[in-house]
Structure 1
Amino acid sequence: MKSFEIDALHHINKSAFQNDLISWFEKEQRDLPWRKNQDPYSVWVSEIMLQQTRVDTVIPYYERFMTWFPTMKDFAEADEEKILKAWEGLGYYSRVRNLHAAVKEVQENYGGKVPDTVEEISKLKGVGPYTAGAILSIAYGKPEPAVDGNVMRVLSRILLIKEDIAKPKTRKIFEFAVRKLIAEENPSFFNQALMELGAMICTPGTPSCLLCPVREHCEAFKEGMQKELPIKNQKKTSRTVPLVAAILQNEKGEILVRKRSSKGLLANMWEFPNFEYFSKVISNRIFFQEQFLNEFGTAVEIQDYVTKVEHVFSHLVWNVEVYRGVVCGEIDQHICHKHNMKWVSKEEIKELAFPVPHQKMYKAFINMDE
């Protein structure tokens, strides 16, 4: 491990810091379902779900997921349709695909036991340094760093680290710091306490310093710099994509859906027909009708306006105008097969996994008929 020069590490009282932090966590930790045991599989699932997702959002998903797939064997043997349905609404679907591939590997190559070394667990798909550290420390009690955004924010203030946390290489500095500070006898609570502190007390912007259990150890508090840290300069740019979508029915009242490509954004999720709207000459209703006819060889009649949906991804924003309509005639079966389209009933729709924007479209559509 490369050595970094962090001045505050030379004079922080590590034992007192550990005791103050862990004592606070033992008393104040939130009652979260994944904390009820330290089973490696449970820890693994929760950590993957918590990536880029709020705790309150994750709780019901985690509980449902563990009901559907209580063991790694259950999850490894599940088909993708059910897995995507379990994850429906959480977003970043590559997470659950990678988790599924990794769990199958554990079943096949490790006898169903999650590896307990950095070298082995890091080979699993989707398991980066943070996830590896979280599983090893929480489930196996190994003194490995688990550095996420919360931990970087807390330690940037505690140790007055002024490096830009948006730069990937900066994580190494914080991993080094955790290795120097971690409680060897209780790395599970130490790492969880750092994360909890960042989530509950040492929050972005204005932290609740008067409630902080390790305030007396905090260099940023002493210098009055807690609001200025951490430093994060990276700016994300996103592209706005205007779309027009329609929930189309046939004479039986069935609804037309299609499955997205097996690669790329929202791979293998189901959706309602939609097109990127790039014409300023004709209305989006007429544009949809023309695009549908050109692509699928069948006319549609766009009727009522349903809703507008805006959905923000990490790199783009969807602005979707949504309509309802009917298909005039039958779509050739060869076309349906080629474009992964099919007709489904309202009951059958409940079994398919849709991304959040399409869930919103369908909810608005259903509400129109009530």
Structure 2
Amino acid sequence: MRDVADISPALLAWYDRNARVLPWRTGPADHAKGLRTAPYRVWLSEVMLQQTTVAAVRDYFRAFTTRWPTVTDLAQAEDGDVMAAWAGLGYYARARNLLKCARVVAFELGGEFPQTARELQALPGIGPYTAAAIASIAFDEPATVVDGNVERVISRVFALTDPLPGTRPEIARLAGLVTPTHRAGDHAQAMMDLGATICTPRNPVCALCPLIEICEGHAQGIAASLPVKAPKKVKPTRLGHAYVLTGPSGEVLVERRPDRGLLGGTLGFPTSDWAETLPAFAPPVTADWTQAPTDVRHTFTHFHLVLTVHRATGHMEGMLGDNAFSPEDLPTLMRKVWEAAQTAPAK
């Protein structure tokens, strides 16, 4: 393999020609003119992109930055409005931490993000990866940025054959070795782009890769098999009931889930606990309930969930009935529940 010092120049030359156009990015040509991406936009995009694809995030990012163009605007938003705007992106703790962080930056730091990865990590919801991304892309700090794309590129370039997650410390060390002191943010984004478009998980397009002459995995003919991943644990399945109650005037019974826990802070329908065995049928009100013909299935990070969906029409005295209900304001699981409820026999 050629010298490690060859990696970043080859990568940056490729990036200057092939950088993806993304709504949160300042392209290499504009960057060369001295323009920088505002840290608010870097931070927001990176939080949205956690566990989510670029394709899924584009429209959410545009909607957020149109509605809340600065961190102070976001900090002043109502929690419920932000959670509704986040609906569909999943991992709702990110949205709660987004608001916490925005309020610290806006109200305690005068609307200015810290400029180093170390200081950024002190903010709510910002871990090592996000801190390094903000510091390098917005402030040109030579911080080492390691996401799934970078893990894959580094594993292949250096032919790391031990399985993840055990190799992560070595990947971080090697990624640090190849991170330049100049154009660190462009280097980080180039790594991400290479992993997303050329050095893909399956069928990498090695013939188009700027690192083909440097890549030890390609030289050994094992690039496509890297990184090696430890076998996944079998996810357990939990069961529960979901109840969709419609009032006589068309209002829908919804509740805001507790801030802590799965789907925390989001609107949804009443449910039972989620357990290894199906809990007893215990609807929120006495009514003529009917069961949807198909259960709702949804997968979280650590388990699969199967919900039996029930539907009824009844009175809601003393309960929260939303006349302005919109399925678009619900997280994906609750949208599935709503859709299943529409198939339940009406009485």
Q: After TM superposition, is the score higher than 0.5?
A: yes
Q: Is the 8 A contact 1:152 1:165 kept in 2?
A: no
1:17-166 map, 5 Å: 17-36=7-26, 38-166=37-165
After the TM superposition, which parts of structure 1 deviate over 6 Å for at least 4 consecutive aligned residues? 277-281
Q: Quick check: 1:179 aligned with 2:176?
A: yes
Q: Is the 8 A contact 1:240 1:316 kept in 2?
A: yes
5, 27, 30: which one pairs with 1:14?
Answer: 5
Q: Larger helix proportion, structure 1 or 2?
A: 1
- By how many angstroms is 1:51 displaced? 0.7
Q: Quick check: 1:247 aligned with 2:244?
A: yes
159, 182, 192: which one pairs with 1:195?
Answer: 192
356, 360, 366: which one pairs with 2:336?
Answer: 360
- By how many angstroms is 1:160 displaced? 1.5
What letter matches 2:66 in structure 1?
Answer: T
- By how many angstroms is 1:182 displaced? 1.7
Task: Give secondary structure in 2 for the equivalent of 1:261.
Answer: coil
Q: Quick check: 1:211 aligned with 2:202?
A: no
Say if 1:25 and 1:367 are closer, same or farther in 2 by CA, change over 3 A: farther
- By how many angstroms is 1:232 displaced? 1.4
Q: Quick check: 1:315 aligned with 2:302?
A: yes
Query: RMSD value over aligned CA atoms?
Result: 2.6
Q: Is the 8 A contact 1:306 1:324 kept in 2?
A: no
What letter matches 1:134 in structure 2?
Answer: A
Q: Distance in 2 between the 1:279 and 1:74 partners?
A: 43
Q: Is the 8 A contact 2:60 2:86 kept in 1?
A: yes
Q: Distance in 1 between the 2:52 and 2:86 partners?
A: 12
Q: Is the 8 A contact 2:290 2:344 kept in 1?
A: no
What letter matches 2:256 in structure 1?
Answer: K
Once the two structures are superposed, what CA deviation does each residue of 1:305-325 show, in whole Å capped at 9, x if it has no partner?
A: 364321110011122232321
Q: Is the 8 A contact 2:268 2:330 kept in 1?
A: yes
Once the two structures are superposed, what CA deviation does each residue of 1:217-264 show, in whole Å capped at 9, x if it has no partner?
A: 000010111122112115234221223323212222221112222221
Q: Distance in 1 between the 2:41 and 2:137 partners?
A: 11
Task: Give secondary structure in 2 for the equivalent of 1:48.
Answer: helix
- Tell me which residue corresponds to 1:3: none
Say if 1:366 and 1:145 are closer, same or farther in 2 by CA, change over 3 A: same
What letter matches 1:14 in structure 2?
Answer: A
Once the two structures are superposed, what CA deviation does each residue of 1:147-202 show, in whole Å capped at 9, x if it has no partner?
A: 011101100110122343224xx433222212221232211111111111111111
Say if 1:52 and 1:280 are closer, same or farther in 2 by CA, change over 3 A: closer
Q: Which runs of 5+ in 1 are unaligned?
A: 1-7, 337-341
- By how many angstroms is 1:365 displaced? 4.8
What letter matches 1:250 in structure 2?
Answer: G
Q: Is the 8 A contact 2:238 2:275 kept in 1?
A: no
- By how many angstroms is 1:279 displaced? 11
- Tell me which residue corresponds to 1:350: 326
Say if 1:80 and 1:277 are closer, same or farther in 2 by CA, change over 3 A: closer
Question: How many positions carry a matched residue from both structures?
Answer: 336
Say if 1:13 and 1:277 are closer, same or farther in 2 by CA, change over 3 A: closer
Q: Which runs of 5+ in 2 are unaligned?
A: 27-35
Q: Is the 8 A contact 1:243 1:319 kept in 2?
A: yes
Task: Give secondary structure in 1 for the equivalent of 2:298.
Answer: strand
What letter matches 2:76 in structure 1?
Answer: E
- By how many angstroms is 1:331 displaced? 5.1
Say if 1:363 and 1:280 are closer, same or farther in 2 by CA, change over 3 A: closer
Q: Is the 8 A contact 2:239 2:274 kept in 1?
A: yes
Say if 1:127 and 1:148 are closer, same or farther in 2 by CA, change over 3 A: same
Q: Is the 8 A contact 1:241 1:276 kept in 2?
A: no
Q: Is the 8 A contact 1:166 1:234 kept in 2?
A: no
Q: Distance in 2 between the 1:106 and 1:355 partners?
A: 27
What letter matches 1:35 in structure 2?
Answer: R
Say if 1:272 and 1:164 are closer, same or farther in 2 by CA, change over 3 A: same
Q: Is the 8 A contact 1:257 1:344 kept in 2?
A: yes
Q: Distance in 2 between the 1:351 and 1:274 partners?
A: 17
Say if 1:366 and 1:331 are closer, same or farther in 2 by CA, change over 3 A: closer
Q: Which moved more, 1:351-360 or 1:305-314?
A: 351-360
Q: Which moved more, 1:110-119 or 1:304-313?
A: 304-313
Once the two structures are superposed, what CA deviation does each residue of 1:89-142 show, in whole Å capped at 9, x if it has no partner?
A: 101111121122122112233221110123211111111111111111111111
Task: Give secondary structure in 2 for the equivalent of 1:83.
Answer: helix
What letter matches 2:8 in structure 1?
Answer: Q
Q: Distance in 2 between the 1:161 and 1:268 partners?
A: 41
Task: Give secondary structure in 1 for the equivalent of 2:213.
Answer: helix
Identity %: 35
Say if 1:280 and 1:311 are closer, same or farther in 2 by CA, change over 3 A: closer
Q: Distance in 2 between the 1:172 and 1:113 partners?
A: 32
Q: Larger strand proportion, structure 1 or 2?
A: 1
Task: Give secondary structure in 2 for the equivalent of 1:56.
Answer: helix
